[in-house]
Amino acid sequence: MDSKVGVRPPISGRISDEQKRLSDDGEKDISKYRAALSTVFEELNNEEVKHCEETAIKWNTQPLPDEMQRK
């Protein structure tokens, strides 16, 4: 958790950290991504699951913002 009480790092950061941990703390192994994703998603609280579901609906029903398309 972050230094603020009750504040967790972003989900993407937690997935990245778990992938690195599963890769023996070396360079992130792409073959460990699915396991990292599963581990992190199993640990999500109800609020985080709701946020993921809302984000998925938004991404699947609206075009990408210009700033995302430019990356």
Class of residue 23 by CB neighbours under 10 A (exposed 0-12, middle 13-18, buried 19+): middle
52 vs 1: which has the higher pLDDT: 52
Residue 54's Cβ-side half-sphere holds a number of Cα atoms within 13 Å equal to 6
At residue 1, the pLDDT reads 43
Pair of tokens at residue 8: 């967790």
Residue-range domain boundaries for the chain: 11-69
pLDDT digits (tens, 9 = 90+) for 4-52: 445 567 899 999 999 999 999 889 999 999 999 999 999 999 999 999 9
d(CA 30, CA 22): 10
At residue 59, the pLDDT reads 86
The pTM of the full predicted model, rounded to 2 decimals, is: 0.68
